[in-house]
C-alpha cells in the first residue's frame, strides 16, 4: 500500500493537478528546471500552501481536515535554508520537532527526551547537542534540520533542496544519510537540482515541467536523453563511472541543431 498518495493535488496557477503515489523506504527525487513548481508542490503537500484542489493522503488518511499539529505527525518538512542567526542550541532546535507530539509541559519527559537523543545520535550530532546553531557549519546545520524532522517521528520527510547550499563533502554526506533513513523505512522526498546526485541517490524520480507532472518512475526509466533534452534543455550522455561504478551524466547545453530531436 502506498504511504503517500497525491490525488489531483493542484496549486493554481502555478501547479496543475498532479496524481502520484509513493511507498515507504524510498528516496524520491523531485526534479525540474527553475520555476517548474518543485517547492510549491512540497509546500502544498505539507499544507504550507492550501491546495486549490485535490487531496493528500498518508497511510490512507486524508490530511485535508487535519490541523497543522495533527498534520505534522504524518509529514515533516525542512525548508531550503536554516537561518544562521537562530539563537538556540542544536538540541533545543531538534527538540522543536516534538511540538506536534508533546504539549509544552510534557516536552521534557523521558519519552520526548529519548526521541530527541535518538534523532541527534542518528544524525551524528550528539557531541554538538549543546553547541549554539550559530557556531556550527552549514552542513551540520542541515543535519540538525534533518534530525529535527526525525524527532517529529513522522513516516514521510519532505526536504526542499537540502544540499543546495553545501559543499560537495556535505552534499554526499547528507545524501548518504538520507539513503540510510530510507533503508530504515522512511519515505524521503527531496527537491534536488543536482541531476547526477538524483540519478545516484534516488530510487525514483518525479519530473516537473512548467507546473505539470512530466513523468514519474524509477531513475532508470526516467533518466533518458530525451527527457533531459526536453525538460532541462541539455544534451546528456549517461555512463557508468569505471572507477566508482556510479551512474554518471555528461551534460552540455542543447545546441540549436539538437532541438529538433527532442520529441518524446
According to CB under 8 A, which one of 14, 20, 96, 219 is a site residue for other proteins?
96
According to CB under 8 A, which one of 38, 71, 143, 209 is a site residue for other proteins?
71
Residue whose CB is less far from other proteins, 107 or 235: 107
Which among 27-35, 77-85, 169-177, 255-263 is the span making contact with other proteins, rule CB under 8 A? 77-85
Count of residues touching other proteins (by CB under 8 A) = 32
> Which own/partner pairs from 208-212 qualify as long-range (CB within 8 Å, at least 24 positions apart)?
208/30, 208/31, 208/32, 208/36, 208/37, 208/38, 208/41, 209/32, 209/33, 209/36, 210/35, 210/36, 210/37, 211/13, 211/14, 211/15, 211/16, 211/36, 211/37, 211/40, 212/16, 212/18
HSE, side-chain direction, 13 A CA sphere, residue 161:
17
The CB-of-190 to other proteins minimum distance in angstroms stands at: 14
Residue whose CB is less far from other proteins, 82 or 219: 82
Which among 91-99, 112-120, 208-216, 234-242 is the span making contact with other proteins, rule CB under 8 A? 91-99
Residue written as grid cell 512548467: 210
Residue whose CB is less far from other proteins, 86 or 172: 86
Taking CB under 8 A as the rule, which mask of x and - marks residues 26-65 in contact with other proteins? -----------------x--xxx-x---------------
* Residues 134 and 166: beta-carbon distance below 8 Å: no
According to CB under 8 A, which one of 76, 136, 187, 205 is a site residue for other proteins?
76
Torsion of CA 233, 223, 8, 152, to 10 degrees: -110
Q: How far apart are CA 164 and CA 159, in angstroms?
A: 11
Contact residues for other proteins, defined by CB under 8 A:
43, 46-48, 50, 67-73, 76-79, 82-83, 86-88, 92-93, 96-97, 99-100, 104, 107, 148-149, 152
Amino acid at each position: 500500500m502506498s504511504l503517500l498518495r497525491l490525488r489531483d493535488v493542484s496549486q493554481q496557477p502555478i501547479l496543475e493537478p498532479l496524481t502520484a503515489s509513493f511507498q515507504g523506504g524510498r528516496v524520491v527525487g523531485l526534479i525540474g528546471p527553475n520555476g517548474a513548481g518543485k517547492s510549491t508542490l512540497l509546500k502544498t503537500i505539507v499544507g504550507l500552501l492550501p491546495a486549490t484542489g485535490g487531496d493528500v493522503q498518508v497511510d490512507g488518511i486524508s490530511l485535508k481536515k487535519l490541523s497543522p499539529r495533527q498534520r505534522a505527525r504524518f509529514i515533516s518538512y525542512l525548508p531550503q535554508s536554516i537561518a544562521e542567526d537562530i539563537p538556540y542550541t542544536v538540541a533545543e532546535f531538534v527538540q522543536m520537532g516534538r511540538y506536534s507530539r508533546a504539549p509544552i509541559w510534557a516536552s521534557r519527559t523521558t519519552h520526548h527526551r529519548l526521541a530527541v537523543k535518538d534523532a541527534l545520535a542518528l544524525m551524528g550530532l550528539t557531541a554538538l547537542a549543546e553547541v549554539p546553531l550559530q557556531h556550527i557549519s552549514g552542513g551540520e546545520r542541515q543535519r540538525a534540520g534533518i534530525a529535527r524532522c526525525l524527532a517529529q517521528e513522522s513516516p514521510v520527510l519532505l526536504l526542499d533542496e537540502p544540499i543546495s547550499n553545501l559543499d560537495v563533502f556535505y552534499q554526499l554526506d547528507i545524501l548518504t544519510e538520507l539513503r540510510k533513513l530510507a533503508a530504515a523505512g522512511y519515505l524521503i522526498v527531496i527537491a534536488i537540482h543536482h541531476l547526477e546526485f538524483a540519478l545516484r541517490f534516488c530510487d525514483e524520480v518525479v519530473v516537473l515541467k512548467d507546473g505539470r507532472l512530466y513523468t514519474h518512475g524509477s531513475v532508470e526509466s526516467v533518466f533518458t536523453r530525451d527527457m533531459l533534452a526536453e525538460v532541462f534543455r541539455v544534451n546528456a550522455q549517461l555512463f557508468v563511472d569505471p572507477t566508482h561504478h556510479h551512474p554518471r551524466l555528461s551534460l552540455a547545453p542543447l545546441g540549436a541543431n539538437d532541438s529538433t530531436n527532442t520529441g518524446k
